[in-house]
């Protein structure tokens, strides 16, 4: 005959252990019903887990690229708005020069319009997105158009005793054209040099002309920079200054006619070049939209692939919750009944 121990504790311990196990399984099942995903993906998939990890990394890259492309799209939208306002102001001055001609009243109105246009140009070209200036090229931390004062310091505008305005006045004083031929030589020489890319334009802008490329997909990059040193902007500013600061009101008829003609020619060229920039940006916006659509499709495919590995059968998970809940309630009842038993009752 063999001896073995029998106690109330041993009778009640087994059901309690089963309750703890069922509670743990029920928590996992409820989590799967809520999330639609295995409670422990690594434990369930085993060696196949690395496949879902790779898919998730790839999907995250696609999402981040979409977010970056959204910012690029906003940048292009702001650029288009600024360029549109520059174009409208320039077109108004062009219409004024053509309709008013070189007469006293007409040239005075055009001078005022050119000064206002230059101010508007400065505001538009210094547009920013967040803390980055859009038309500064690679130097996005500083305004595209900024002036220094004669004697040092920053000028609020071109008219604010700026070194650029003084350089125009000095060049005009030195040349002192007295007839149309001399004026033409001045416009093609000293005056033109003030707006040439390099030393001349540096008085107007510190924009960095180096291209700025942003990656929009795994295989594509996009140049998103249109610096203020672009010929379109320089020609528009040159036309404004030509009308506003060369003293047309004091010129003789032949000089006025030449100046008006050259202003119309320069401004027309600048606006034509500006249209090309706007069209180019529009093309890049379309390209960006196509790329974003491809990224969205790719993200959806990756999501479906991840789901095929990690998602649970909703019906099966719900059934498991119901089954485990019933089993847990039965275990509670059994544990309660056993806890009321005492071996003493049977001795």
pLDDT higher than threshold 80 for residue 164: yes
Element holding 136 (H helix, E strand): none
Tell me the mean pLDDT in the region 181-194. Answer: 93
DSSP assigned state of 251:
S
Residue 40: Cβ-neighbour burial (10 angstroms; 0-12, 13-18, 19+): exposed
Return the pLDDT at 252: 86
Residue 1 is classified by DSSP as: -
pLDDT at res. 18: 66
Report the pLDDT averaged over residues 282-294: 95
Nearest to 90 by CA among 251, 240, 248: 240
| pLDDT score of 1 | 47
Q: What's the CATH number for 52-302?
A: 1.20.1330.10
Give DSSP secondary structure letters for 203-247: GT---B-S--EEE-SSS-EEE----TTSHHHHHHHHHHHHHHHS-
- What would the mean pLDDT of 169-185 be, rounded to a whole number? 91
Q: In Å, how far from its chain's centre is CA 343?
A: 78
Residues sharing a CB contact under 8 Å with residue 323, sequence separation 6 or more, in sequence order: none
Q: How far apart are CA 36 and CA 310, in angstroms?
A: 8
Q: Coil, strand or helix: which one is 155?
A: strand
Convert 66-91 to b/e letters by CB count within 10 Å (16 or more is b): beebeebbebbeebeebbebbbebbe
User: Which helix (H) or strand (E) is 148 found in, with range?
Assistant: strand 147-148
Name 89's Cβ contacts closer than 8 Å, sequence gap at least 6. 116, 117, 120, 121
- CA distance to 127, 216, 223, 260, 296, per residue, from 65 (Å): 25, 6, 16, 50, 10
pTM, entire model: 0.79
Q: Looking at per-residue confidence, does 126 or 324 come out higher? A: 126
Tokens of 283: 């093309």
What is the per-residue pLDDT for 275? 97
Assign 99 a pLDDT band (cuts: 50, 70, 90). Answer: confident
Judged against a pLDDT cut of 80, whether residue 343 lies above it is answered with no
CA angle 198, 203, 204 (to 5 degrees): 95
Residue range 33-75, pLDDT digits in tens = 667 666 666 666 666 778 888 888 998 999 999 999 999 999 9
Q: Mean pLDDT in the chain?
A: 84
Query: What are the domain boundaries of the chain?
Result: 52-302, 314-347
Residue 230 bridge partners (DSSP): none
Lowest mean pLDDT among 45-49, 188-192, 220-224, 258-262: 45-49
Q: Is the pLDDT of residue 181 over 80?
A: yes
Strand partners, 132: 129
Helices and strands in the chain, H and E counts: 10, 6
With 80 as the cut, is the pLDDT of residue 272 above it?
yes
The string of pLDDT tens digits covering residues 203-248 is: 998 889 888 999 998 889 999 999 999 999 999 999 999 999 988 8
Q: Residues 271, 116, 102, 95: is their CA dihedral positive or negative?
A: positive
CA-angle at 92, arms to 90 and 96, nearest 5°: 115
Residue 186: pLDDT above 70?
yes
Cα–Cα distance, 97 to 107 (Å, whole number): 8
Q: How far apart are CA 140 and CA 128, in angstroms?
A: 9
The pLDDT of residue 108: 84
Mean pLDDT, rounded, for 298-325: 76
The first and second tokens of residue 128, run together, are 């920013």
4 CB-near residues (< 8 Å, 6+ apart): none
CA distance 137 to 122: 16
C-alpha span between 342 and 339 (Å, rounded): 8
């Amino acid at each position: 005959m063999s001896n073995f121990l029998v106690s109330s504790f041993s009778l009640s311990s087994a059901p309690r252990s089963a309750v703890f196990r069922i509670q743990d399984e029920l928590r996992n099942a409820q989590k799967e019903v809520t999330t639609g995903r295995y409670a422990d993906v690594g434990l369930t998939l085993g060696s196949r887990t690395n496949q879902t990890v790779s898919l998730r990394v790839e999907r995250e890259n696609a999402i981040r690229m979409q977010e970056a492309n959204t910012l690029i799209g906003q940048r292009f939208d702001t650029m288009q708005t600024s360029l549109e306002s520059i174009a409208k102001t320039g077109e108004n001055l062009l219409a004024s020069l053509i309709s008013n001609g070189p007469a006293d009243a007409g040239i005075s109105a055009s001078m005022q319009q050119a000064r206002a246009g230059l101010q508007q140009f400065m505001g538009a070209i210094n547009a920013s997105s967040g803390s980055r200036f859009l038309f500064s090229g690679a130097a996005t931390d500083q305004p595209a158009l900024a002036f220094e004062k004669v004697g040092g310091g920053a000028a609020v505008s071109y008219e604010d005793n700026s070194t650029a305005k003084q350089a125009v006045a000095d060049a005009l004083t030195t040349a002192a054209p007295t007839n149309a031929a001399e004026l033409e030589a001045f416009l093609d020489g000293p005056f033109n040099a003030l707006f040439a890319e390099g030393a001349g334009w540096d008085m107007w802008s510190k924009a960095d002309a180096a291209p700025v490329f942003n990656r929009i997909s795994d295989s594509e990059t996009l140049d998103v920079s249109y610096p203020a040193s672009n010929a379109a902007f320089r020609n528009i500013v040159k036309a404004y200054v030509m009308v506003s600061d060369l003293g047309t009101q004091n010129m003789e008829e032949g000089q006025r006619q030449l100046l008006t003609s050259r202003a119309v020619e320069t401004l027309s060229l600048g606006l034509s070049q500006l249209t090309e920039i706007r069209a180019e940006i529009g093309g890049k916006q379309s390209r960006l939209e196509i790329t974003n659509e491809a990224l969205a499709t790719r993200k959806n495919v990756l999501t479906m692939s991840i789901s095929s590995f990690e998602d649970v059968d909703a019906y099966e998970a719900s059934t498991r919750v119901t089954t485990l809940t019933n089993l847990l309630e039965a275990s509670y009842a059994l544990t309660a009944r056993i806890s009321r038993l005492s071996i003493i009752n049977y001795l």
